[in-house]
Structure 1
Amino acid sequence: MTNTATRIKPVTSSAPSGNAPTTLPLLSRESGDSLVDQIVRTVQSRIDDKLLRTGARMPSIRQFADLHSVSRFTVVEAYDRLVAQGFLESRRGSGFYVRERSPVAGTAPTGTVLPLRSNSGQFGNEHGMADNGSSQPQQLDVVWLVRNMFRQMPPQKMPGGGLLPPDWLDGDLIGNGLRSVGRQNMSLLTYGTPQGFLPLRQQLQLKLAELEITAAPEQIVMTSGVTQGLDIVARHFLRPGDVIFVDDPAWFLMFGSFAAMGAKVVGIPRLTDGPDIAKLAELAALHKPRLYVINSVLHNPTSTSLSAAKAFQILRLAEEHDFTIVEDDIYCDMHPGAGVQAATRIAALDQLQRVIYLGGFSKTLSANLRVGFIATSPELARHLSDRKMLSTLTTSEIGERVIYKILSEGHYRKHAERLRNRLNGVRDKVVRQLEKIGLDTGLATGSGMFIWTDAKRDTNVLTEKAMAQGFLLAPGSLFSPNQLPSTRMRINVASMSDPGIWRFMDEELGR
Structure 2
Amino acid sequence: MLTRSPDRSLTEQLAERFAERIRTRLLPAGARLPSVRECARQQGVSPHTVVAAYDKLLAQGLVEARRQRGFYVRDIVQKMPLGQDGQAQTAILSEATAASPLGPMGLCLPGSRINATALIRGMFHQVSNKPQPGSGVLPVAWLEEARFLSAAVRKITAGPALQGGSLSYGEPMGDAGLRQALARRMADIHIPARPGQIITTVGATQALDIVSRTMLKAGDPVMVEEPGWSVEFARLEALGMRVLPVPRGPEGPDLAVMARYCELHAPRLFVSVSVLHNPTGYSLSPAGAHQVLQLAQRHDFHIVEDDTYGHIAPERATRLSMLDGLRRTIYVSGFAKILAPNWRIGYLAAPPDLVERMLDTKLLSTLTTPAILEKALALCIDQGQLRRHAERMRQRIAQARTRSVQLALAAGCRFAAEPAGMFGWVDTGVDTDMLAQRLLDEGYLIAPGALFHATRQPCTLMRINFGNTQEPAFWRAWQRVVASVK
Of 7, 13, 25, the match for 2:5: 13
Of 275, 288, 302, the match for 2:280: 302
1:454 maps to what in 2? 427
Aligned partner of residue 246 in structure 1, secondary structure: strand
Of 367, 373, 398, the match for 2:347: 373
Per the TM alignment, residue 142 of structure 1 is displaced from its structure 2 partner at its CA by 2.7
Per the TM alignment, residue 507 of structure 1 is displaced from its structure 2 partner at its CA by 1.3
Q: For the residues of structure 2 that align with 1:120 and 1:201, how far apart are their CA atoms?
A: 49
2:465 maps to what in 1? 492
Of 376, 379, 383, the match for 2:357: 383
Q: For the residues of structure 2 that align with 1:337 and 1:401, how far apart are their CA atoms?
A: 26
Per the TM alignment, residue 156 of structure 1 is displaced from its structure 2 partner at its CA by 4.0
Per the TM alignment, residue 114 of structure 1 is displaced from its structure 2 partner at its CA by 3.1
Of 236, 241, 244, the match for 1:258: 236
Per the TM alignment, residue 47 of structure 1 is displaced from its structure 2 partner at its CA by 5.7
TM norm structure 2: 0.80
Q: Is the 8 A contact 1:142 1:255 kept in 2?
A: no
Q: Is the 8 A contact 1:437 1:509 kept in 2?
A: no
Q: Is the 8 A contact 1:155 1:165 kept in 2?
A: no
CA distance 1:257–1:363, shift in 2 (3 Å)? same
Q: For the residues of structure 1 that align with 2:471 and 2:9, how far apart are their CA atoms?
A: 33
Query: What does 1:100-499 align with in structure 2 at a 5 Å threshold?
Result: 111=24, 113-115=26-28, 118=31, 132=61, 135=64, 137=72, 138-139=74-75, 140=111, 141-143=114-116, 144-153=118-127, 156-169=130-143, 170-184=145-159, 185-189=162-166, 190-338=168-316, 343-445=317-419, 447-499=420-472
Instruction: Output the amino acid matched with 2:232.
Output: M
Of 475, 479, 485, the match for 1:506: 479
Per the TM alignment, residue 372 of structure 1 is displaced from its structure 2 partner at its CA by 0.5
The C-alpha deviation readout for 1:62-96, integer Å capped at 9, x for no partner, is xxxxxxxxxxxxxxxxxxxxxxxxxxxxxxxxxxx
Per the TM alignment, residue 308 of structure 1 is displaced from its structure 2 partner at its CA by 0.4
Q: For the residues of structure 2 that align with 1:134 and 1:489, how far apart are their CA atoms?
A: 26
Identity of aligned residues (%): 37
Per the TM alignment, residue 431 of structure 1 is displaced from its structure 2 partner at its CA by 1.0
Q: Is the 8 A contact 1:246 1:265 kept in 2?
A: yes
Q: Is the 8 A contact 2:133 2:469 kept in 1?
A: yes
Per the TM alignment, residue 456 of structure 1 is displaced from its structure 2 partner at its CA by 1.5
Q: For the residues of structure 1 that align with 2:32 and 2:62, how far apart are their CA atoms?
A: 21
CA distance 1:364–1:134, shift in 2 (3 Å)? closer
Q: Is the 8 A contact 2:221 2:243 kept in 1?
A: yes
For structure 1, which segment, 399-408 or 360-369, has the greater mean C-alpha deviation from structure 2 after superposition? 399-408
Per the TM alignment, residue 152 of structure 1 is displaced from its structure 2 partner at its CA by 3.2
Per the TM alignment, residue 112 of structure 1 is displaced from its structure 2 partner at its CA by 5.5
Per the TM alignment, residue 181 of structure 1 is displaced from its structure 2 partner at its CA by 2.1
The C-alpha deviation readout for 1:357-381, integer Å capped at 9, x for no partner, is 0011110001100011000112211
Aligned partner of residue 266 in structure 1, secondary structure: strand
The C-alpha deviation readout for 1:297-328, integer Å capped at 9, x for no partner, is 00001111000010001011111111110000
Per the TM alignment, residue 469 of structure 1 is displaced from its structure 2 partner at its CA by 2.0
Instruction: Output the amino acid matched with 2:27.
Output: L
Q: For the residues of structure 2 that align with 1:196 and 1:289, how far apart are their CA atoms?
A: 30
Q: Is the 8 A contact 1:301 1:452 kept in 2?
A: yes
Per the TM alignment, residue 509 of structure 1 is displaced from its structure 2 partner at its CA by 3.3
Per the TM alignment, residue 179 of structure 1 is displaced from its structure 2 partner at its CA by 1.3
Q: Any gaps of 5 or more consecutive residues in structure 2?
A: 40-49, 66-71, 76-110
Per the TM alignment, residue 288 of structure 1 is displaced from its structure 2 partner at its CA by 1.0
Higher RCO (CA-CA < 8 Å; seq separation 6+): 2
The C-alpha deviation readout for 1:385-418, integer Å capped at 9, x for no partner, is 1110011100111221121111011111111010
CA distance 1:299–1:266, shift in 2 (3 Å)? same
The C-alpha deviation readout for 1:46-75, integer Å capped at 9, x for no partner, is 9665589xxxxxxxxxxxxxxxxxxxxxxx
CA distance 1:318–1:51, shift in 2 (3 Å)? closer
Instruction: Output the amino acid matched with 1:425.
Output: Q
Q: Any gaps of 5 or more consecutive residues in structure 1?
A: 1-8, 23-45, 53-107
Per the TM alignment, residue 113 of structure 1 is displaced from its structure 2 partner at its CA by 3.1
For structure 1, which segment, 325-334 or 138-147, has the greater mean C-alpha deviation from structure 2 after superposition? 138-147
Q: For the residues of structure 1 that align with 2:153 and 2:239, how far apart are their CA atoms?
A: 36
Instruction: Output the amino acid matched with 1:132.
Output: G
Aligned partner of residue 415 in structure 2, secondary structure: coil
For structure 1, which segment, 137-146 or 291-300, has the greater mean C-alpha deviation from structure 2 after superposition? 137-146
Q: For the residues of structure 2 that align with 1:458 and 1:389, how far apart are their CA atoms?
A: 44
Q: For the residues of structure 1 that align with 2:122 and 2:6, how far apart are their CA atoms?
A: 29
The C-alpha deviation readout for 1:232-266, integer Å capped at 9, x for no partner, is 11011111211011000000001121111111111
Q: Is the 8 A contact 1:156 1:498 kept in 2?
A: no
CA distance 1:50–1:262, shift in 2 (3 Å)? closer
